[in-house]
Chains A and B, each alone.
Chain A
Amino acid sequence: MRSSEGELGAAVARAQQGDEAAFAVAYRIVQPGLLGYLRGLVGAEAEDVASDAWLEIARDLGRFRGDAAGFRGWTATIARHRALDHLRRQKVRPRASEVEQDLLDLPAAHSTDGQVLESLGTQYALELLSTLPRDQAEAVLLRVVVGLDGPAAARVLGKRPGAVRTAAHRGLKRLARRLGAEGVTDDGPRALGGSE
């Protein structure tokens, strides 16, 4: 992700001059993280919301000022607004309820951290995230999936950097506990408390 920063910055600059190929490059670099973030927010609707977000990104590209990291933050903000609009319209919570049943069949229940992660698919990752409070889940998504730094993630969320850092830390810690727990559907802290 980091190695693409210079490429992304140059691509954004050229796209702002009207270079379509450069816009395509920026799209390919940014879209995976954006889509991952949107999956965490709206689940299966992520592709549609991402499409809406890219329409807005293309429309306002001339307004944008900043480097590659700034572009990630800017696009994440737009995507987030589209996702929140979507959720408001649908009155659906970001946690996709259809995956609840899958969770029971997961091999994770009796395996180690590494084994869990090896078999961790998108749906399971989403389900894991859905166990977190909303602010922690979003902080983890922005930091880990979109790849924003602390201040940028804080700006996307409209919060203080310290609060976002704490939320991301707690979220990851909680996810680790869940993965380490004997049953993933349990309330997490039990196994960790026993092992430490």
Chain B
Amino acid sequence: MNDRRSLGGEDGCGMGEREGGDTRPEPAAPGSPGDRPDLGAALAAALRDGAVDPEAEERALAAFREVRAGGALDGARTRRQDDWRPADGRRRGRPLREVLIALAASVTLGGVAVAAIGSAVGARDDGDGRDGLRPSSSAPTATATATADDADPGLPGPSGPFASPGPSGPSGRSSAAQDLLAHCRAYDSVQRQGKALDSAAWQRLVRAAGGQDDVEAYCAAQSTGSEEKKENKEKKENKENKEKKENKEKKEKKEKADRKSDEADPGKPAKTPKTPGKDAKSTKEAKNTKAEKSKANKDSKDSKNNEKDDGG
């Protein structure tokens, strides 16, 4: 191959001028950035090798004529790899196609789904007394459901062979029980977070247990034994708990009373500095009434609230 030429041209001369021409240092600064464009140009010139082979060109033109004669220049669809327009031009074109494809796909799949639903609904409709309109193949189910409807006319809801209320009852109950157990398990952690206990679910649990202090025992009862045992236990424990509550309340009242007397003591500084005497009296009275209230509502007492009131 006699390819080793072609660089003696413009690029080589340009480089010589740039370097000053006359004296060249031995291995002159090869890594300096200025050299790289020239290196690239030299590479390009060496590899591009200006001369175009006429035979090759003629082959390409013959191919072009053939394609043109076949009419393939016009009707050809632009594939993605053929679209080299700037990015924004491409983006304008593509989404429309994708949207159309997505639309077609959704319509197709949706149609299948609707068809499936329609067949199921048709089978169920047989039970609603439109037997005459249906072909005879579906008659057995229709009569069966019709008799079922006759048997208990009080049921207004769907009474076809698909709507059997039997299994749903127990499963619902069991899921409620599971919820309860889950609440019980989470109770300990929630208890420490204060406000979480105000939510409806927890209040339900507290109500079911008969009070906040009884939740643990209630949960223990729920998690062990059968439902009947639980009920018995609940009753027993509720009684015990009530007694406990009463004892607790009594203790608390005593403590409150002690605290109130401390606050009312004129020797100690009261919380509100302006008129200590009056405030002490009024709070005392308020607390007394509260204590009486809590006495009266033993069953629905909420010791925490009382403690809060005392604090404020």
Contacts and interface: CB of A to CB of B under 8 A. Distances in A.
A28 B52 contact: yes
Contacts of A65: 78, 82-85
A172 B46 contact: no
Contacts of B79: 63
B66 to A, nearest CB: 8
Contacts of B36: 172-173, 176
Interface stretch (B68-76, B114-122, B278-286): B68-76
A196 B31 contact: yes
Contact of B84 (A23, A39, A64, A113): A64
Contacts of A59: 63, 67, 72
B73 A18 contact: yes
Contacts of B309: none
- SS class, residues of chain B in contact with chain A: helix
B182 interface: no
B31 A66 contact: no
Nearest to A17: B73
Q: Chain A binding site: helix, strand, loop or mixed by DSSP?
A: helix
A82 interface: no
A121 B57 contact: no
A124 B84 contact: no
Given A15-B64, A28-B57, A114-B15, A192 B30 contact: yes
B129 interface: no
A172 to B, nearest CB: 5
Is the interface on chain B under 10, 10 to 19, 20 to 34, or 35 or more residues? 35 or more
B16 interface: yes
A150 B31 CA distance: 22
B24 A112 contact: yes
Nearest to A55: B63
A74 B57 contact: no
B26 A121 contact: no
Given A65-B85, A118-B8, A179 B30 contact: yes
Interface in B15-33: 15-16, 19, 24-31
Given A54-B56, A118-B8, A119-B4, A145 B47 contact: yes
A23 B61 contact: yes
Contacts of B56: 31, 47, 50-51, 54
B84 A123 contact: no
A181 B36 CA distance: 15
Nearest to B21: A114
Contact of B44 (A36, A51, A113, A181): A36
A184 to B, nearest CB: 11
B47 A40 contact: yes
Contact of A114 (B12, B48, B85): B12
B120 to A, nearest CB: 48
A97 to B, nearest CB: 14
A177 B30 contact: yes
Given A24-B61, A62-B75, A145-B43, A112 B26 contact: yes
Contacts of A117: 7, 11-12, 15, 38-39, 42
Contacts of B81: 74, 77
Interface in A12-68: 15-18, 20, 23-24, 27-28, 31-33, 35-37, 39-40, 44, 47, 50-51, 54-55, 57-67
Given A15-B64, A58-B63, A173-B36, A120 B28 contact: no
Contact of B77 (A15, A63, A120, A195): A63
Interface in A122-149: 122-126, 128-129, 140-141, 143-145, 147
Contact of B60 (A58, A119, A128, A129): A58
Nearest to A77: B81
Query: Taking each of B25, B41, B57, which has the highest tally of chain A beta carbons within 10 Å of its own beta carbon?
Result: B57
A191 interface: yes
Given A119-B7, A122-B6, A125-B43, A71 B84 contact: yes
Interface string A67-111: 101110110010000000000000000000000000000000000
Interface of B: 1, 3-8, 11-12, 15-16, 19, 24-31, 35-36, 38-44, 46-50, 52-53, 56-57, 59-61, 63-68, 72-79, 81-85
Given A112-B26, A140-B43, A173-B36, 4 more contacts: A20-B68, A123-B1, A125-B47, A180-B29
- By Cβ-Cβ distance, the 4 closest A-B pairs, closest first, are A180-B30, A121-B4, A70-B84, A66-B84
11 contacts: A16-B73, A50-B56, A62-B67, A65-B78, A70-B84, A112-B25, A112-B26, A122-B49, A143-B40, A147-B44, A195-B30
